[in-house]
Amino acid sequence: MTENEPFFERIFGEDWATMPTVFHAHYANRTRKDDVVRVTGPMDIRQSWLMRLAAPLFRMTKTLVPVDRKGVDTEVIFRTHADSDGFWYHRHFRLGAGDTYEFVSRLEHMGGNQVTEWTGAGVGWHSTFAFDGGRVRLDHIGYRLKLGGLTMRLPVTWLFGVPSAWEEAIDDAHFRMEMTIQHWLFGFLYSYSGAFKISEVTLD
């Protein structure tokens, strides 16, 4: 790992050099640097009746956005820090006057193209990141649980469903994305999707 290597360059490996310009900006944050990338755009959020029942839990744990709405004004700030190997997502969903829902999570590199995205509740999504020549794809491996300094597999895919996501370049400054959760029994559970503009790239 070089001093100025982006966090995601290790994860995408040889594919990094072939990725569209917008992804080099989107994933510009470097490991152990105080770097900031900000993207903005409207998002469409959909949830099934089952997920609506769980909305109070989402609000309490500050995880999935507990609404079903189109065109939600959204800002996502990607951060790395000089004193950490992690990568942070700071999501801000503006749901109305005085109502901004915040969801902060931390990405941990697990080796190769595997990562775990940890929520504040200590539950993580273990997945792979890969660029297939057209899209960045996130594929589910499983869920994990963090208890203090200990992490372990959390065998609840049968309960929580299978998340997956993709991102696709529009041009050098814009990309679109979608995240979906499907359940083996209930089918569609949840999704959010939208088109984003790279609004800021500030490298320390």
Q: How do residues 88-114 score in pLDDT, each as one tens digit?
A: 999 999 998 889 999 999 999 999 999
Nearest CA to 138 among 178, 103, 105, 106? Answer: 178
Lowest mean pLDDT among 26-30, 95-99, 129-133, 143-147: 95-99
Can you give the pTM of this predicted structure?
0.93
Band (1; pLDDT cuts 50, 70, 90)? low
- Report the pLDDT value the prediction gives residue 4, as an integer from 0 to 100: 80
Q: Per-residue pLDDT tens for 159-176?
A: 999 999 999 999 999 999
Which 3-state string (H, E, C) describes the chain? CCCCCEHHHHHHHHHHHHCCHHHHHHCCCECCCCCEEEEEEEEEEEECHHHHHCHHHHHHHCCCCCCCEEEEEEEEEEECCCCCCCEEEEEEEEEECCEEEEEEEEEEEEECCEEEEEECCCEEEEEEEEECCCEEEEEEEEEEEEECCEEEEECCHHHHCEEEEEEEECCCCEEEEEEEEEECCCEEEEEEEEEEEEEEEECC
State whether the Cα torsion 91-48-61-154 is positive or negative.
negative
Residue 60 is which amino acid?
Answer: M
pLDDT beyond 70 at 2? no
**How far apart, in Å, do the first and last CA atoms of the chain sit?**
18
Residue 93 is which amino acid?
Answer: F
- Spell out the domains of the chain, with CATH numbers in brackets: 7-202 (2.40.128.20)
pLDDT beyond 60 at 133? yes
